[in-house]
Structure 1
Amino acid sequence: MKILITGGAGFVGSSLALSLKTDYPQYEIFVLDNLKRKGSELNVARLTKAGIQFVHGDIRNKEDFDPIPPVDTLIEASAEPSVLAGLTGTPDYLINTNLFGTVNCLNFALKSKANVIFLSTSRVYPIKTIETLNFDEHETRFVLSDEQPVPGVSSKGIAENFPLDGARSLYGTTKLASELIIQEYQEFFGLKTVINRCGVITGPWQMGKVDQGVMVLWIAKHYFEQQLAYIGYGGTGKQTRDMLHIADLYRLIDWELHNIDQVNGQILNAGGGNESSASLQELTKICQEVTGKTIPISSVAENRAADIRLYITDNTKVTKLTGWKPELGMKEIVTDITKWLDENRAALEPILK
């Protein structure tokens, strides 16, 4: 099998590529990346050492696909991933990468007669609708109620039939627009496709920043003994997310890669679910336990643009179709990332500190 992974030197793309090469050494794997994200250059040596073919290119440029031979499957893992992208300054890079770049990927897949696995985001769901959901305030976190004003949400989380009307951030909009185009290619050009709306993905080799990769950021700030802040929602740190370890995502992508006919044309929510979720307050406690360090955390009551109080993934559909469900919980995720920081401190300190 020949596979192309776009964004292949990024956190998600490189992790998937390396896991696939480990499990299927006979597969020919190509990764395409523009190395824009700080830290992605560290992955090139890891990929090359594993026998994965790195192509320095940009999905915005269709000619950058020319050195790559026809493949059997394209895994679209490239993106400008920040929910704040485009909100200050020009949104050109965001739109050209996340939307027009996807079109170039689809045209390459069409030329190759390749299947397409697309990594979308939970951010396709509108912010105002999420913010008006019914919730309970517990001692350390916010919790979704079963009684809700809209369909597609319960105490289990948000499902695929959650309403899509409304604004969601330019990032979320470009991913949703890409989903719509993918569905057209699937229906009218016969491409086999599956769309995964992922929650917060995390794990080793993620270069966490304030606007993207909050889990690694939170752990790294503890590890390097720096400061943090609970921002928004009263500054209590009760805002809550589910977290999906990259190893759990890999198991789903691996299944889809080899069973595409069973999920062809599907849109699937995939996240940690309630079982692997935490508020910032709860995450802080786990970080203190695992790293043995306590750091100053300030409090800012005012919300930031595009923030949401509470998001949990309802994995019911993906589990029913594929049998997949996440296995790694919050303590295991924090422990794994802390171990990675220990083993690679010299290389990571200039990036994450």
Structure 2
Amino acid sequence: MEIALITGSAGLIGSESVAFFADKFDLIIGIDNNLRQYFFGAESSTEWNKNRLSETYTNYRHYNADIRNPEELAAIFQEYGTDIKMVIHTAAQPSHDWAAKEPFTDFTVNANGTLNMLEMTRLNCPDAVFIFTSTNKVYGDNPNFLPLIETETRWEIDESHPYFKNGIDEQLSIDHTKHSLFGASKVAADVLVQEYGRYFGMKTGIFRGGCLTGPNHSGAQLHGFLSYLMKCAITNNHYTIFGYKGKQVRDNIHSYDLVNMFWHFYQSPRAGEVYNAGGGRYANCSMIEAIKLCEKISGNKMQYSYTDDNRIGDHIWYVSDLSKFKTHYPNWNWTFDLTTTLSQIHESMSERLRK
């Protein structure tokens, strides 16, 4: 039997992974205890998505386990052993602001939880491919010291800079920078996954995501910017822009395109490899540009305000360079542009809000 084990399986990337791999593995094991509801409130519960997966995929088996608890994880890993061929670790506390409220919770989920998953894999299925969803926040605020230029709707990097053409590559330092506590806990996890690849020779891949998005995102004010923005556009709820004149730029990758990166890596894995994973120059926008696009798709005028208080460690401009991954896996490419992704989010969000 061939098994894929996915943490955070009811979240955005976890649920997309379940859907993507359901016909490629005999059994999909999902681990998710809906901590997202604890982080961001009832409106961000992933229970609806867990139920959808259980109803849709007959080979999906869900475990309400906590990645911070090695005993709970050991029982699952020992049950399936070397039949586990792939581990996709997406479970995390994902918010800058929330991490500062409960540093112990943030670190134990992001760092200790990742260590638990790595060690369970090493002890029970060491030949499995281990895929980790890291974040561009491991670079801290180093991107803010690039030569940026203010335009009418966005900040942009000077066209003479090497990053102008394709974006920020994996060589940008993760040191000597302000990360936020969330960024620091993800750095710890990121380096651990690299080390299990380099030290133990495990097939580990680290994907440093930009803004990850898609129709199955339970967006909240503190996390899931495009999903929450579209929710506000549909419901006429107020939205607050934090700093940088609303011109801060994010690249956005659809959850399907990211999981397709996992699939390509799984078929030809490497040990301890790091990849930036975002929308790159193909799909990026400023906050102001995203609001205009949400208004166009929803047909509603958005209610929003601005505060000069930017989030600590937040990026002014971030566009991922995926050249390294595309060189290693030349058959991969993006399939969802920004308009298509936001249209999907609008359709999915509207349907959920009607229920």
TM-score by length of 2: 0.90
Partners of 1:167 and 1:280 in 2: CA distance: 22
What's the CA shift for 1:72? Answer: 1.2
Report the counterpart of residue 262 of structure 2 in structure 1.
253
Give the conservation status (yes or no) of the 8 Å contact 1:8–1:31.
yes
Mapped partners of 2:160, 2:88: distance in 1 = 37
| TM alignment of 1:322-333, pairs within 5 A | 322-323=329-330, 324-333=332-341
CA distance in 1, matches of 2:323, 2:223: 26
Mapped contact 1:271–1:326 kept (Cα < 8 A): no
Q: For structure 2, which runs of at least 5 residues remain unmatched after alignment? A: 38-44
Is 1:222 matched with 2:233?
A: yes
1:81 corresponds to which of 83, 94, 108: 94
8 Å contact kept, 2:7–2:89: yes
Tell me the CA shift for residue 107 of structure 1. Answer: 1.1
| CA distance, structure 1, for counterparts of residue 154 and residue 10 of structure 2 | 35
| 1:269 Cα deviation after fit | 0.4
Q: Superposition pairs for residues 33-48 of structure 1, below 5 Å? A: 33-38=32-37, 39-48=45-54
Matching residue of 2:178:
167
SS state at 2:4 partner? strand
Find the aligned partners of 2:336 and 2:117 in 1 and give their Cα distance: 31
2:97 is paired with a residue whose SS is coil
- Comparing 99-108 and 139-148, the one that deviates more: 139-148
| CA shift for structure 1 position 85 | 2.8
Amino acid aligned to 1:285: K
* 3-state SS in 1 of match to 2:311: coil
Code of the aligned partner of 1:253 = F
Greater displacement, 177-186 / 316-325: 177-186
Q: Which amino acid aligns with 2:264?
A: W
CA RMSD of aligned residues (A): 1.6
Figure out how many residues of one structure are paired with residues of the other and give that number.
336
Query: Which amino acid is 2:292 matched to?
Result: K
Q: Which runs of 4+ in 1 moved over 3 A?
A: 152-155
Where does 1:290-329 land on structure 2 (aligned, <5 Å)?
290-323=297-330, 324-329=332-337
Correspondence list, 1:208-287, <5 A: 208-233=219-244, 235=245, 237-260=246-269, 263-287=270-294
**In 2: Cα distance, 1:139 partner to 1:188 partner:** 48
Query: For the residues of structure 1 that align with 2:137 and 2:261, how far apart are their CA atoms?
Result: 20
1:1-353 alignment to 2 at 5 Å?
Answer: 1-21=2-22, 23-24=23-24, 26-38=25-37, 39-49=45-55, 50-51=57-58, 52-65=60-73, 66-68=75-77, 69-70=80-81, 71-88=84-101, 90-111=102-123, 112-113=125-126, 114-127=128-141, 129-147=142-160, 153-165=163-175, 166-233=177-244, 235=245, 237-260=246-269, 263-323=270-330, 324-347=332-355
Q: Is the 8 A contact 2:86 2:130 kept in 1?
A: yes
Quote the Cα distance in structure 2 between the aligned partners of 1:230 and 1:45: 33
- Whole-Å separation in 1 of the counterparts to 2:172 and 2:227: 28
1:125 to partner: Cα distance:
0.3
Any idea what the Cα deviations from partners look like across 1:82-111, whole Å, max 9, x if unmatched? 1223313x3111111111111110111112
Q: Does structure 2 retain, via aligned residues, the 8 Å contact 1:11–1:40? A: no
**Residues 9 and 50 of structure 2 are in contact (CA less than 8 Å); yes or no, is this contact kept in structure 1?**
no
Question: Displacement, 1:296?
Answer: 2.3
The answer to whether the Cα contact below 8 Å between 2:9 and 2:30 also exists between their aligned partners in 1 is yes
Higher helix share: 2
2:40 alignment partner in structure 1: none
Distance 1:164 1:153 in 2: 16
How far off its partner does 1:147 sit? 4.3
Percent of residue pairs identical:
29
